[in-house]
Copies of this chain bind each other. A is one copy, B any other.
Amino acid sequence: MGGKNTKRTQTKSSAENNRLQLKPVGVIRSVLKERSKAPKQGAEGAPDAWIEVRPGVTQAIDGLAAGDEIIILTWFHRAHRDVLKVHPRSDPKRRLTGVFATRSPDRPNPIGLHEVTVRKVGKNRLRVGPIEAIDGTPVIDIKPILCSPCPAKKIDQPDPQ
């Protein structure tokens, strides 16, 4: 699985190394500017947005095309990483639940997972949506979906968050 013209060096990280460093591969450019105004899930009325891909990694989007269903992983840079339990969907009537059983952005590693459709592919950017991530959110990975995207009826009833 070698890339052409790329030097392959073994990652220094290991299971014993508890400092794993992410490099942003892009950034979200969206009309959504504030977390408080963003919907909780993409299917809940979120807009389309641009992903500006970092100059050093633009080769990695080769092969993506309009209409593709993909997963965007983001880093919720405004999240609270020391939160371990939340009330799902911020509803105080629902019992405190471990964040790994919810989609809360507040969690030890505030990674967002967004299933979106590719609308357009530029030289160094992708138009995708719908996506609830706010403007300026770092993108950390992009992957194809291996199966059909979520049916809307399921997203309309998110439980837990």
The chain A residues found within 8 Å of chain B, CB to CB, are 1-4, 6-11, 13-15, 17-25, 27, 41, 57, 59-64, 68, 70-71, 73, 75-87, 90, 96-111, 113, 136-138, 140-144, 146-151, 154-155, 158, 160
Given contacts A11-B78, A25-B108, A62-B85, 18 further A-B contacts (CB under 8 A): A1-B87, A3-B96, A6-B80, A7-B82, A8-B106, A9-B81, A9-B82, A11-B79, A11-B110, A13-B75, A20-B140, A59-B98, A60-B108, A63-B102, A64-B101, A68-B101, A109-B140, A111-B111
* Contact flag A111-B140 (CB < 8 Å), given A13-B75, A62-B101: yes
**Min distance, Cβ A161 to any Cβ of chain B, angstroms:** 8
This protein's copies in its complex: 2
Q: Using Cβ atoms and an 8 Å threshold, which residues of chain B touch A97?
A: 62-63
B-chain residues with CB within 8 Å of residue A109 when the two chains form the complex: 22-23, 25, 73, 140-141
Q: Can you name 11 A-B pairs with beta carbons within 8 Å?
A: A1-B80, A1-B83, A1-B86, A3-B85, A3-B96, A3-B99, A6-B83, A23-B108, A59-B85, A64-B98, A148-B151
Q: How far is the CB of A61 from chain B (nearest CB, A)?
A: 5
Q: Which residue on chain B has the smallest CB distance to residue A82?
A: B6
Partner of A6, one of B2, B13, B70, B84: B84
Closest B residue by C-beta to A105: B1
Contacts of A2 in B (CB 8 A): 83, 86
- Least Cβ–Cβ distance between A159 and chain B, in angstroms: 9
